[in-house]
């Protein structure tokens, strides 16, 4: 089987426009007129002479200006902190939790500024993994949209005044018997929970309500009913041989994605003699990142997920000899039977997870797992997960109280109900009428705007914190920078209002000393240094479900909806929308659609054909009382009769970056049996007369012209032949040269071999990328952006294919169509299987070719080769001919069209002093008119070499790591020194097995290699 | 006999008398030496340091008390001497170390302090006038002499011209020649030029050559700040500290061995010495007081105030952002002396200046010449072996042979 890959439906259907664009990387003419005259509307032409005059003048002005160097001040510390050496980074262990993502992190600071976040490998929960959102949070610290101090009704006041007023009001409300409510997202800080309970004791009638924007309360409720434990279990994906997920995007969003992706990757690796990998089957409606990685993906409408669960139960039950339940009909009966058989064969080593937030469905899932013996093996109820504690029922009670007007005070902490509730407007009106409405939000948002009092919290990088993401696994967070603004930690505010004179730091230390440290026999400083403290875990016991399946089954029927359905989901970049005002995340292409700066209605190609929608059409969606206009994206893999759209967009008060980007689709969330569901049935969609929407997608640019750049095999084939799917190019014919006759084309080189060119070298750097472990999450892209000062260019420039990301993740869809000679243009045939494609992700970055085509064509030798195997780019030598980009077969070079720093046109982070604080001082900020590209993090290489030289020792493998490799949550990227025989990168290089170079026929000899993708096609049971 | 007896006895006594004078002299010198060796760490005559200012201590206390106090102050405090206890408490309960000096030695110290107390407060040795640092000293105005000489010459030539014109006129009148037609000054110049074509040509060529050479060098020096020696907010002298006082460069520029930036020392590093050294040999108290002002430090009480103001030094060495330079690579790994790039800082730099051109050509030049210190550094062990195997022992391994001229070593 040879799969054919294409990069988007435009390529598939060979639109005339696409054909025109794909042949030109830079498909628009130079905007010299706009740049020079700055009056594009007035005249479109600048006479040549005028242009030369401008040119002459600017050359003269530039050289005059450069004659006199400005006086630079150098201001040392007055009293230098002992731990700071200017020019040397300090690392602090900390914890990140924003109510959605948890991560144990290491924060890199330079001269007191946090500039980069990496994972902390000491944590058994996140195991050194880190995702795009957590890494991008460092930029949110330097966001001008953060609140600069406390305010009442929008007017700046002092903390003393606000403390006085709030205390008075709270006391008045208590004396009148009014209700006080603290509304927050999940709080996993044990000390904060204790503090809130103390606050509640001081002000009786206080109740703490937790809710999650994207809720999993159904799982907790089901566990209560099945096992009498209102908890979320810890899932052990690493112990599972067969993984079945019904709509759970567990690799990037669901509950504890970093933990899951680390575990999942372990089961997918085929290195170091490991011969087996897990089998992953995904039932889902929208094409998620997790679904893209599945060995088998089955599309179902969102409301049919319940039916899949019920039928899967019946299939497993029939194998286990248990009684069946009443199950709604499903078209996938045959596939479900096969899946059940696979699960049953791996009894005790299988895992079924489900993303439907409803206790009835989750009870069925619990029963399946119970029959499969998953509890105590792949599911651990004895060390429960503490994330996503939000209760839909508590929230409903609060809303009820608010409707009755009983709530006098609402303190909103770390959540944004006005935005994330389906009826946010109603909530806002009620909030505004309250006696005391108070927001702790560190940045202005829809809710803080509606609150009378604003007591802004510190950013997490300025705060003390503790966290318990899993029972018995604790972590500490410490400030890595002094507060930038006059903000105060929420806990300090609560302490103040409870009349305590303690600071939260003292409170935290004493809490830890008496509750946590005494159990572990560790000191505060030890834990602070490590960032984590883990008590011995409880033994995971076996459980069997006591759920009332009959009752659950009777509810399932009502869950199965009819008509067109829309599901809302979270993107890997935006998540629930907490960090919407972060330009790095806005510009991170969606892993699947490769669209930036937008959300959209993703519909299946079949539905689009039937309804006559085209990409970019705007449609009017009516779902009950909710009406909204959404642009259409045609998304292969989307289940027929349904569409999906991402949360987190359409902000109205999040700041200059996020506002008016996309549409807020939280109103599509709806409550069913007390659970907040992420899909809605019976939706009416009509084409809107509005003009077509323009997307900024990175997907149809930089095409690789249909060449075999992704190699793929199946596990079963690979076990038989480790080289399967990785056929090397063989040339039977020999060709003659002027020097020696009879050379194989693969041995013929246009260039001198680099190793022969100069002397020997001490290192030869290289990288291996395992396509089998890459889940396409985009963590590496953000890591690269943060490390290398990659500018944000904005939607408009992305549309002109001028995105600056040094690395991208190519996503290829496949189809089983195998064109025979003469059939290549049979577009119709290629179209059919494309509706449900397989997906491959391929991180693409400068391949650091040893015979680099870019180096050959540079007229000024601005790009050259180093003796250590790096393709060097010297910005100050570059004159911007862009020949190199045109000659690069991988299309990984980026041209700076504008000066992105200090430019009002690019109003993101680089044009203000605050935003610039995130820049890495070891990497130059590139100027207009030069090429740039991946440098293999040469600053890190040089730093690692220097440390080794200073200490007089060899470089250890893994000591020098690129930002992308470091941040990869699945360790798909391996970086190292080929000259070190013990290095991982050297050991993984086995061309006789899975390693290959992309476009090896060009003989450019890259220093980056890939490992073939292997899919586990199962034991023949699958459909 | 009497006479001889006196003479003899005198001769006998002479050495004693002499030694009495001499010993008196030694006595005073001992006091100074003892004071300087033992007391100055904590005491000054006129200033309060860790201990009190010693001026007029003989007036405040009896000699017996002083001897007892200086020998073992803690014993006195323990014994409950009220004066001793008061002093001890007043100076933050810092105990003065006990010692084994003899009474005479202590008396010598007291005598020295007494003598010093009676002297008027010392003025700074040189350049004591306020504001007269070495930076602002003006040199004799050479330009003025030139102007005077030039005007004298002009006067002379115009007088001579007049004389010549008068003589010509007289000659013409005498010989009855007609007056030449009157000429404008422009016509006169042209007339002169026609008569001096060779001179004009030579001048023109000389000027063009001179201008081209000057212009070429002027263009070459754009962006190069060699010799840049800006005024600094504090007249700190490297010559004094690194030269005379032999303080190691890295004592203050401690980052040079560790990382990228050598670093300008923070004011607390200055205070390691200047808490006690309050007066310099050149500028007296004035410049040192600027450190105190920056830290809001009151030397009389030893208390740091709440209003420190950072010292805004002017940066001397400005590498462009596009070039990455790391001190540790050169100082710690390459074992290059600071002076190689920064010049004889300790000998001649009263104010720090840029000694080297800091151009890329200069960097590359050095990378071509400098041999890599590979021996003894395990980092290079295998590499060195391989290089020696290939090229032999006599092969000079310079920085450029191991890739020291590659772009990405400095530009990223």
- The 10s digit of each residue's pLDDT in A852-869 is 999 999 999 999 998 888
Neighboring chain A residues of B386 at a CB cutoff of 8 Å: 760
- Residue A97 C-alpha, separation from nearest chain B C-alpha, in angstroms: 33
Nearest Cβ partner for B268 among A63, A79, A877: A79
pLDDT of residue A326: 87
Strand partners, A180: A206, A409
For residue B393, name the pLDDT band (cuts at 50, 70, 90): confident
What is B17-118's CATH topology? Cytochrome Bc1 Complex; Chain D, domain 2 (1.10.760)
Calpha distance A139→A919 (Å, rounded): 9
Closest to A304 in 3D by CA, of A247, A254, A261, A347: A247
Higher pLDDT, A892 or A735: A892
For residue B348, name the pLDDT band (cuts at 50, 70, 90): confident
* Residue owning tokens 């169509």: A817
pLDDT of residue A730: 66
Q: What's the mean pLDDT in A479-487? A: 93
Cα–Cα–Cα angle for B336, B339, B342, nearest 5°? Answer: 110
What 8-state DSSP symbol labels residue B242? Answer: I
pLDDT of residue A841: 92
pLDDT of residue B136: 40
Q: Is the pLDDT at A893 greater than 90, yes or no?
A: yes
Pairing outcome for strands A179-184 and A206-210: parallel
For residue A42, name the pLDDT band (cuts at 50, 70, 90): very low
Residue A56: CB partners within 8 Å, gap ≥ 6?
Answer: none
Question: Phi and psi dihedrals of B258, rounded to 5?
Answer: -105, -40
For residue A20, name the pLDDT band (cuts at 50, 70, 90): low
E-strand ranges in A635-745 read 642-646, 670-672, 675-677, 679-680, 684-687, 696-697, 712-714
B314 part of contact set with chain A, CB < 8 Å: yes
The pLDDT tens digits for A111-144 are 889 999 999 999 999 999 999 999 999 999 999 8
pLDDT of residue A755: 55
Nearest Cβ partner for A86 among B255, B313, B383: B255
**Contact: A942, B254; criterion CB under 8 Å:** no
Q: What's the mean pLDDT in A211-224? A: 92
Closest to A588 in 3D by CA, of A761, A385, A760, A793: A793
Question: Phi and psi dihedrals of A283, rounded to 5?
Answer: -105, 125
Mean pLDDT of chain A: 86
Q: Is the pLDDT at A831 greater than 60, yes or no?
A: no
CATH of A565-697, one of 3.40.50.10490, 3.40.50.800, 2.40.40.20, 3.40.50.300: 2.40.40.20
Closest to A668 in 3D by CA, of A812, A600, A567, A767: A567
Contact by Cβ (8 Å): A705, A642: no
Which range, of A52-66, A538-552, A568-582, A657-671, averages the lowest pLDDT? A52-66
Calpha distance B56→A542 (Å, rounded): 89
Neighboring chain A residues of B228 at a CB cutoff of 8 Å: 69
Q: What percent of chain A has pLDDT over 70?
A: 87
Q: What's the mean pLDDT in A319-339? A: 88
E-strand ranges in A936-1017 read 973-977, 995-996, 1008-1011, 1013-1015
Q: What's the mean pLDDT in B207-213? A: 94
**Contact: B387, A69; criterion CB under 8 Å:** no
Neighboring chain B residues of A860 at a CB cutoff of 8 Å: none
Calpha distance A422→B36 (Å, rounded): 83
Q: What's the mean pLDDT in A265-293? A: 91
A64 part of contact set with chain B, CB < 8 Å: no
For residue B158, name the pLDDT band (cuts at 50, 70, 90): very high
Task: Pick the residue from chain A with its C-alpha nearest to B376.
Answer: A952
For residue B65, name the pLDDT band (cuts at 50, 70, 90): confident
For residue A478, name the pLDDT band (cuts at 50, 70, 90): very high
Nearest Cβ partner for A77 among B259, B266, B314: B266
Q: Is the pLDDT at A526 greater than 80, yes or no?
A: yes
Calpha distance A915→A900 (Å, rounded): 13
What is A217-385's CATH topology? Dimethylsulfoxide Reductase; domain 2 (3.40.228)
- Residue A867 C-alpha, separation from nearest chain B C-alpha, in angstroms: 6
Pairing outcome for strands A296-299 and A279-284: parallel
Q: How many CA atoms lie within 13 A of B174 on its CB side?
A: 6
Higher pLDDT, B220 or A226: A226
Nearest Cβ partner for A866 among B259, B294, B403: B403
Question: Phi and psi dihedrals of A604, rounded to 5?
Answer: -75, 155
Calpha distance B324→B121 (Å, rounded): 52
Q: Is the pLDDT at A99 greater than 80, yes or no?
A: yes
Contact by Cβ (8 Å): A371, A317: yes
Q: What's the mean pLDDT in A138-156? A: 92
**Contact: B412, A867; criterion CB under 8 Å:** no
**Contact: B269, A924; criterion CB under 8 Å:** no
Neighboring chain A residues of B401 at a CB cutoff of 8 Å: 758-759
Closest to A805 in 3D by CA, of A784, A778, A787: A784
Give the torsion sign (CA, A882, A886, A888, A892). positive
- Residue A912 C-alpha, separation from nearest chain B C-alpha, in angstroms: 19
pLDDT of residue A871: 93
The pLDDT tens digits for B246-258 are 999 999 999 999 9
- Residue B148 C-alpha, separation from nearest chain A C-alpha, in angstroms: 33
Neighboring chain B residues of A89 at a CB cutoff of 8 Å: none
B319 part of contact set with chain A, CB < 8 Å: no
What 8-state DSSP symbol labels residue A691? Answer: P
Q: What's the mean pLDDT in A790-807? A: 92
ipTM comes to 0.82
Q: Is the pLDDT at A809 greater than 80, yes or no?
A: yes
Q: Taking every pair of C-alpha atoms in chain A, what is the biggest distance, in angstroms?
A: 101
B361 part of contact set with chain A, CB < 8 Å: no
Query: Strand, helix or coil at A676?
Result: strand
Contact by Cβ (8 Å): A401, A427: no
pLDDT of residue A33: 45
Calpha distance A418→A739 (Å, rounded): 76
**Contact: B402, A761; criterion CB under 8 Å:** yes
For chain B, the structural domain boundaries read 17-118, 144-180, 359-412
Higher pLDDT, A248 or A57: A248
Separation in Å, CA B181 to CA B172, B187, B188: 13, 11, 11
Calpha distance A683→A508 (Å, rounded): 50
For residue A961, name the pLDDT band (cuts at 50, 70, 90): very high
Interface test with A, best of B315, B316, B407, B409 (most A CBs within 10 A): B407
| DSSP H stretches of helix in B275-404 | 286-295, 327-328, 338-342, 345-348, 360-369, 381-391
Q: Which residues of chain A form CATH 3.30.70.20? A: 4-13+701-1015
Contact by Cβ (8 Å): A486, A148: yes
**A to B CB pairs, distance under 8 Å:** 168
What 8-state DSSP symbol labels residue A208? Answer: E
Q: Is the pLDDT at A539 greater than 70, yes or no?
A: yes
- Residue B330 C-alpha, separation from nearest chain A C-alpha, in angstroms: 10
Strand partners, A767: A975, A1008
Nearest Cβ partner for A85 among B255, B267, B315: B255
The pLDDT tens digits for A909-928 are 888 889 999 999 999 999 89
Which range, of A82-86, A106-110, B292-296, averages the lowest pLDDT? A82-86
DSSP state letters, A63-108: HHHHHSPPP-EE---SS--TT--TTS-EEEEEEEESSS-EEEEEEE
Q: Is the pLDDT at A823 greater than 70, yes or no?
A: no
Neighboring chain B residues of A76 at a CB cutoff of 8 Å: 263-267, 310-311, 313
pLDDT of residue A37: 44
For residue A757, name the pLDDT band (cuts at 50, 70, 90): very low
What is A4-13+701-1015's CATH topology? Alpha-Beta Plaits (3.30.70)
Q: Which residues of chain A form CATH 2.40.40.20? A: 565-697
Q: Is the pLDDT at A1018 greater than 90, yes or no?
A: no
Calpha distance A997→A434 (Å, rounded): 64
* Residue owning tokens 């669901």: A254
Calpha distance B18→B93 (Å, rounded): 46
The first and second tokens of residue B315, run together, are: 């940066």
Q: Is the pLDDT at A34 greater than 50, yes or no?
A: no
B373 part of contact set with chain A, CB < 8 Å: no
pLDDT of residue B21: 46
Q: Which residues of chain A form CATH 3.40.50.740? A: 151-210+390-459+485-503
Strand (E) or helix (H) holding A427 = helix A424-432
pLDDT of residue A551: 86
pLDDT of residue A460: 92
Q: Is the pLDDT at A736 greater than 70, yes or no?
A: no
Higher pLDDT, B218 or A742: B218
pLDDT of residue B141: 65
Q: Taking each helix axis as running N to C, give the angle between helix B103-118 and helix B63-71, from 0 to 180 degrees, rounded to the nearest 10.
A: 120
Q: What percent of chain A has pLDDT over 90?
A: 61
pLDDT of residue A783: 95
CATH of domain A151-210+390-459+485-503: 3.40.50.740
pLDDT of residue A108: 95
**Contact: B383, A760; criterion CB under 8 Å:** yes
Task: Pick the residue from chain A with its C-alpha nearest to B324.
Answer: A922
For residue B54, name the pLDDT band (cuts at 50, 70, 90): confident
The pLDDT tens digits for B103-146 are 888 888 888 888 888 877 654 444 334 433 344 444 556 788 99
- Residue A942 C-alpha, separation from nearest chain B C-alpha, in angstroms: 7
Nearest Cβ partner for A87 among B259, B391, B408: B259
E-strand ranges in B198-322 read 297-298, 303-304, 313-314
Q: How many CA atoms lie within 13 A of B28 on its CB side?
A: 8
**Contact: B260, A87; criterion CB under 8 Å:** yes
Interface test with A, best of B230, B403, B412 (most A CBs within 10 A): B412
Q: Is the pLDDT at A241 greater than 80, yes or no?
A: yes
Q: Which residues of chain A form CATH 3.40.228.10? A: 217-385
DSSP state letters, A336-398: HHHHHHHHHHTTTSEEEEE----HHHHHHHHHHHHHTT-BTTTEEEEEEE-S----HHHHHHH
A80 part of contact set with chain B, CB < 8 Å: yes
pLDDT of residue B8: 57
The first and second tokens of residue A636, run together, are: 């292969």
Closest to A209 in 3D by CA, of A385, A401, A381: A401
* Residue owning tokens 């664009």: A21
Nearest Cβ partner for B261 among A73, A86, A942: A86
Neighboring chain B residues of A86 at a CB cutoff of 8 Å: 255, 259-261, 263
A759 part of contact set with chain B, CB < 8 Å: yes
Question: Phi and psi dihedrals of A603, rounded to 5?
Answer: -120, 155
pLDDT of residue B326: 93
Neighboring chain B residues of A88 at a CB cutoff of 8 Å: 255, 258-260
Calpha distance A163→A438 (Å, rounded): 12
Neighboring chain B residues of A77 at a CB cutoff of 8 Å: 266-268, 310
Query: Strand, helix or coil at A605?
Result: helix
Contact by Cβ (8 Å): A344, A314: no
B332 part of contact set with chain A, CB < 8 Å: yes
Q: What's the mean pLDDT in A416-420? A: 93
């Amino acid at each position: 089987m040879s799969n054919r890959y294409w990069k988007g439906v435009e390529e598939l259907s060979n639109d005339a426009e696409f054909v025109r664009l794909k042949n030109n990387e830079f498909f628009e003419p130079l905007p010299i007129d706009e740049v020079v005259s700055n009056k594009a509307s007035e005249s479109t032409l600048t006479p040549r002479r005028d242009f030369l005059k401008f040119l002459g003048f600017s050359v003269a002005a530039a050289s005059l200006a450069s004659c006199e160097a400005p006086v630079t001040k150098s201001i040392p510390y007055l009293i230098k902190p002992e731990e700071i050496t200017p020019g040397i980074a300090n690392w602090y262990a900390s914890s990140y939790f924003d109510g959605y993502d948890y991560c144990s992190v290491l924060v890199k600071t330079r001269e007191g500024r946090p500039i980069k976040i990496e994972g902390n490998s000491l944590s058994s929960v996140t195991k050194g993994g880190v995702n795009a959102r957590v890494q991008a949070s460092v930029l949110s610290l330097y966001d001008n949209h953060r609140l600069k101090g406390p305010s009442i009704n929008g007017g700046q006041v002092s903390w003393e005044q606000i403390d006085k007023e709030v205390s008075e009001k709270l006391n008045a409300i208590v004396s009148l018997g009014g209700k006080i409510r603290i509304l927050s997202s999940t709080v996993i800080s044990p000390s904060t929970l204790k503090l809130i309970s103390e606050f509640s004791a001081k002000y009786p009638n206080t109740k703490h309500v937790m809710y999650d924007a994207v809720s999993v309360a159904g799982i907790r409720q089901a566990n209560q009913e099945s096992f009498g434990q209102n908890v979320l279990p810890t899932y052990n994906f690493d112990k599972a041989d067969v993984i079945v997920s019904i709509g759970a995007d567990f690799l990037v969003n669901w509950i504890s994605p970093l933990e899951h992706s680390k575990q999942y990757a372990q089961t997918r690796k085929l290195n170091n003699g490991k011969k087996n990998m897990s089998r992953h089957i995904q039932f889902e409606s929208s094409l998620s990142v997790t679904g893209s990685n599945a060995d088998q993906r089955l599309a179902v409408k969102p409301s049919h997920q319940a039916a899949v669960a019920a039928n899967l139960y019946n299939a497993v039950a029939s194998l286990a000899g248990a009684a069946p339940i009443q199950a709604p009909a499903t078209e996938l009966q045959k596939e479900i039977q096969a899946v059940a058989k696979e699960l049953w064969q791996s009894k005790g080593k299988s895992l079924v997870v489900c993303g439907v937030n409803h206790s009835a469905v989750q009870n069925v899932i619990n029963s399946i797992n119970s029959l499969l013996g998953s509890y105590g093996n792949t599911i651990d109820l004895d060390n429960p997960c503490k994330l996503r504690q939000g209760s839909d029922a508590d929230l409903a009670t609060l809303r009820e109280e608010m409707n009755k007007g009983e709530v006098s005070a609402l303190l909103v902490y770390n959540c944004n109900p006005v935005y994330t509730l389906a009826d946010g407007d109603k909530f806002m009106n009620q909030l505004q009428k309250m006696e005391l409405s108070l927001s702790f939000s560190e940045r202005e948002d829809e809710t803080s705007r509606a609150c009378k009092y604003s007591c802004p919290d510190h950013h997490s990088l300025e705060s003390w914190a503790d966290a318990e993401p899993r029972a018995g696994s604790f972590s500490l967070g410490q400030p890595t920078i002094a507060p930038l603004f006059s903000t105060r930690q929420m806990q300090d505010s609560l302490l103040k209002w409870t009349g305590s004179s303690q600071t939260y730091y003292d409170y935290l230390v004493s809490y830890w000393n008496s509750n946590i440290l005494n159990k572990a026999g560790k000191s505060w400083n030890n834990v602070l240094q490590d960032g984590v403290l883990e008590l011995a875990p409880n033994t995971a016991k076996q459980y069997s479900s006591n759920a009332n399946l009959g009752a659950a089954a009777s509810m399932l029927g009502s869950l199965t909806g009819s008509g067109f359905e829309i599901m809302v989901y979270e993107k890997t970049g935006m998540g629930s929308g907490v960090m919407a005002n972060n330009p790095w995340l806005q510009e991170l292409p969606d892993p699947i659609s490769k669209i930036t700066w937008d959300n959209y209605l993703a519909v299946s190609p079949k539905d689009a054909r039937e309804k006559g929608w085209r990409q970019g059409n705007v449609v009017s969606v009516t779902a009950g009382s909710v009406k909204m206009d959404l642009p259409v994206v045609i998304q292969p893999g989307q289940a027929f009769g349904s569409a999906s759209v991402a949360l987190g967009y359409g902000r109205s008060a999040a700041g200059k970056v996020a506002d008016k980007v996309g549409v807020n689709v939280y109103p599509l969330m709806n409550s069913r049996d007390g659970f907040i569901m992420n899909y809605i049935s019976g939706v009416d969609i009509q084409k809107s007369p509005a003009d077509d929407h323009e997307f900024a997608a990175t997907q149809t640019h930089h095409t690789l012209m249909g060449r075999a750049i992704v190699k793929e095999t199946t596990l079963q084939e690979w076990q038989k032949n480790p080289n399967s799917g990785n056929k090397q190019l063989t040339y039977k014919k020999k060709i003659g040269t002027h020097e020696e006759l009879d050379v194989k084309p693969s041995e013929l080189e246009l260039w001198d071999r680099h190793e022969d060119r100069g002397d020997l070298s001490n290192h030869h750097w290289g990288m291996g990328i395992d396509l089998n472990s890459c889940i396409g999450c985009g963590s590496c892209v953000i890591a690269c952006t943060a490390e290398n000062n990659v500018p944000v260019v904005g939607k408009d420039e992305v549309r002109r294919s001028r995105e600056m990301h040094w690395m991208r993740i190519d996503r290829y869809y496949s189809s089983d169509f195998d064109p025979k000679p003469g059939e290549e243009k049979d577009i119709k045939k290629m179209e059919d299987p494309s509706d449900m494609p397989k997906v491959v992700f391929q991180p693409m970055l400068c391949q650091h070719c040893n015979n680099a085509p870019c180096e050959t064509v540079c007229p000024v030798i601005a790009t050259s080769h180093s003796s250590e195997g790096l393709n060097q780019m010297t910005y100050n030598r570059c004159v911007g001919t862009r020949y190199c980009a045109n000659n690069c077969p991988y299309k990984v070079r980026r041209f700076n069209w504008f000066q992105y720093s200090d430019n009002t046109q690019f109003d993101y982070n680089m044009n203000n002093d605050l935003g610039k604080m995130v820049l890495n001082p070891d990497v130059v900020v590139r100027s207009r008119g030069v090429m740039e590209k991946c440098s293999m993090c040469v600053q890190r290489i040089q730093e690692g070499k220097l440390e080794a030289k200073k200490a007089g020792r060899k470089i250890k493998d893994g000591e020098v790591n690129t930002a992308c490799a470091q941040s990869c949550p699945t360790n798909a990227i391996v970086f190292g020194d080929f000259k070190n025989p013990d290095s991982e990168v050297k050991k993984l290089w086995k061309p006789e097995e899975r390693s290959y170079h992309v476009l090896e026929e060009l003989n450019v000899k890259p220093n980056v290699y890939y490992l073939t993708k292997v899919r586990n096609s199962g034991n023949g049971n699958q459909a | 006999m009497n006479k001889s007896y006196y003479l003899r006895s005198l001769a006998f006594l002479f050495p004693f008398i002499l030694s009495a004078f001499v010993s008196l002299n030694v006595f005073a010198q001992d006091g100074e030496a003892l004071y300087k060796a033992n007391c100055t760490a904590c005491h000054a005559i006129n200033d309060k340091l860790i201990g009190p200012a010693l001026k007029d201590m003989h007036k405040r206390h009896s000699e017996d008390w002083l001897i007892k106090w200086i020998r073992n102050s803690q014993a006195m405090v323990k014994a409950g001497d009220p004066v001793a206890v008061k002093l001890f408490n007043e100076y933050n309960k810092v105990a003065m170390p006990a010692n084994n000096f003899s009474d005479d030695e202590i008396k010598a110290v007291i005598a020295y302090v007494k003598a010093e107390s009676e002297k008027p407060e010392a003025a700074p040795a040189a350049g004591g006038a306020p504001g007269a640092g070495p930076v602002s000293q003006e040199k004799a105005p050479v330009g003025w002499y030139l102007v005077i000489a030039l005007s004298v010459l002009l006067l002379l030539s115009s007088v001579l011209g007049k004389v010549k014109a008068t003589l010509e006129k007289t000659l013409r009148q005498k010989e009855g020649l007609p007056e030449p037609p009157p000429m404008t000054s422009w016509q006169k110049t042209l007339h002169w030029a026609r008569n001096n074509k060779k001179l004009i040509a030579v001048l023109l060529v000389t000027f063009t050559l001179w201008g081209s050479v000057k212009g070429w060098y002027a263009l070459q020096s754009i962006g190069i700040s060699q010799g840049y020696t800006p005024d600094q907010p504090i007249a700190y002298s490297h010559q004094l500290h690194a030269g005379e006082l032999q303080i190691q460069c890295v004592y203050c520029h401690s980052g040079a061995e560790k990382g990228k930036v050598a670093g300008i020392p923070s004011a607390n590093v200055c205070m390691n010495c200047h808490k006690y050294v309050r007066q310099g040999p050149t500028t007296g108290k004035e410049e040192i007081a600027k450190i105190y002002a920056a830290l809001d430090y009151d030397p009389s009480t030893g208390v740091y105030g709440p209003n420190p103001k950072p010292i805004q030094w002017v940066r001397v060495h400005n590498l462009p952002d596009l070039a990455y330079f790391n001190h540790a690579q050169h100082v710690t790994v390459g074992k290059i002396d600071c002076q190689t790039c920064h010049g004889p800082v300790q000998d001649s730099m009263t104010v720090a200046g840029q000694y080297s051109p800091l151009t890329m050509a200069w960097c590359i030049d050095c990378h071509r010449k400098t041999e890599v210190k590979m021996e003894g550094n395990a980092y290079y062990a295998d590499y060195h072996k391989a290089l020696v195997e290939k090229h032999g022992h006599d092969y000079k391994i310079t920085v450029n042979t191991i890739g020291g001229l590659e772009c990405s070593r400095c530009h990223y």
